Every structure is written in C-alpha cells, then in structure tokens.
Amino acid sequence: MGVVNVTPDSFSDGGRWVDPDAALAHARRLVADGADIIDVGGESTRPGATRPRVQEEIDRVLPLVSRLAADGTRVSVDTMRAEVAEAALRQGAAVINDVSGGRADDAMFGVVAAAGAPYILMHWRAHSVTMQQRTEYVDVVDDVMRELVEQRDRAVAAGIAPERIALDPGIGFSKTAEQNWDVLAATERFHGLGHPLLVATSRKRFLGALLAADDGTLRPPLERDDGTTATSALAAAAGAWCIRVHSVRATADAVRVAQRWAQGQEAR
C-alpha cells in the first residue's frame, strides 16, 4: 500500500502532494513501483495535529480518489469520518482505512456495512492531540489485541462482514517506541487473530529514535526508508497481508524476498 497524504501537515510528506496534479503523478509512480493499493489521506494523524473541517477533508481527498479510480487503481481512503468515507466510496474508493477503528465516529460502521466495503480497523485510543498521553498498558500486546478484538466485534455486530475486516495494531498510536517494538515482535500473534493484518511503520518516529545520531538527534523522516524496508520484510515474513509505506519500490522488493524466503522454508 502506497501512501499519498494530501495534507499540508503530515509528518513525513506533509505539503508535498497538496497540488492535485502532483498528487496524481506521485500516486501513479507508486503504482508503477509496485503498490497494489493507494491510500489517500486528508487528515494528518501525527502526534499533536489539529483536525481539518469535514468539508475541507472531503475537498482534499475526492479529486485524487476519483482520478485514481478512473485509472483502475484500487484506492483506500484514510479517514475517521463516516461522511468522508461515504463520499469517497461514491467516487470509487474500494477500501476504508479508519485509524480510529470506528471509535471516532459512531456512523462509520453503518456506512461501511451499507457499502459492503473492505474495512481496515486499527487499534486507537484517542485523537492525535492526546494520544501520547494514553500509553498505559498492563501488557501492551495482550491489551492491544483485546481492544482490537472488542472493536472488531462491534464492527461485526453493526453489520460489517468479518471477512471484509483487516486489523492493524496501530504502530505509533498511543504507543511509546518500546511498545511499538513489543507489538511488532508479536506480529505473528496479531496475524493469528484470523484477519488480514496491516502493518504501517513507514518513516515513523520510533525508527528515527532507533537510528538516531550519536548526539541523540533523531534520523529525519525522509532518511528512515531503509529502516522501513527492514521492518517491511520482517512484518511480511511474520504474516502481514499489507504493508503501508510512503516509498514503495524497496518495500515491494522486500515483500517479494520475504515471500520467496518463506516458500523455501515450506519446501523443506
């Protein structure tokens, strides 16, 4: 999954794809690089970000969604808002990627259920402004798994078919760097929940911290792609169905290597 954030303020690509023609050209490049899905986002979820108005979010994402759908590209829309999801589905979006897993908007499950659309349900506790104050867990893996399953059950009760739901542990959302690594190390357990699993580490801060300079300066977001490729390969090897990244080519290669590696293991 290749990411195109049509936002002025996302942490790694904010402002770069606000121009619709530039966004379309970039998305097409990601498809050429091997992306099977393009994830279009109109709201930054970086820690501390403020929210756009609903209409503003719709105006940001719809032009790109409809142009990519016209290309025949499979588009997911990264939104927590039912109204945005509904408008995007009408314009040809194929998948809803809801980082709040239905917690931010009570109308979301109904819209997704009515459309019969595939739904990516991520572990989430709070909006960006306060999410890093909500990192208390007894056991981060057990607690994130339990909260994900509870929310999955609510989605199914609201009419979304279980086979249409993918799960995502939400790397960087209400999690410290240590907790992100604990969750990633448990990718196989998340995979065992019986849904396709999405893993999204691309350029995130915990990679910047791991790869920091000797003086503690974080590795800047645009220089975290090699680290991202490593997490992509490891997540794919541990069973992830989808890897969400900003720079697609290296990750598409890494996923193919991981698949081939697994084939070799199965054959022995």
Applying CB under 6 A, the residues found at the interface with ligand PMM are 3, 5, 10-12, 41, 45-46, 78, 97, 99, 120, 122, 168, 170-171, 198, 200, 202, 244
Residue 9 or 262: the one with the smaller Cβ distance to ligand PMM is 9
SS3 58: helix
Catalytic residue among 152, 175, 205, 244: 244
How far apart (Å, rounded) are the C-alpha atoms in residues 99 and 131? 12
How far apart (Å, rounded) are the C-alpha atoms in residues 154 and 172? 23
Q: Provide the minimum distance between the beta carbon of 214 and ligand PMM in the complex, in angstroms, as a whole number.
A: 27
Residue 3 or 31: the one with the smaller Cβ distance to ligand PMM is 3
What b/e string do you get for 204-224 counting C-beta neighbours within 10 Å, with b at 16 or more?
bbbbbeeeeeeeeebbebeeb
Q: Is 152 a catalytic residue?
A: no
CA-angle at 223, arms to 221 and 228, nearest 5°? 80
Catalytic residue among 74, 204, 219, 224: 204
Q: Is 175 a catalytic residue?
A: no
Q: Provide the minimum distance between the beta carbon of 235 and ligand PMM in the complex, in angstroms, as a whole number.
A: 12
Cβ-based neighbour number of residue 110 at 10 Å: 16
Q: Provide the minimum distance between the beta carbon of 166 and ligand PMM in the complex, in angstroms, as a whole number.
A: 8
Residue 7 or 73: the one with the smaller Cβ distance to ligand PMM is 7
Phi-psi label, residue 41: left if phi above 0, alpha if psi -120 to 50, beta otherwise: beta
Residue 8 or 261: the one with the smaller Cβ distance to ligand PMM is 8
Q: Which residues are catalytic?
A: 204, 244
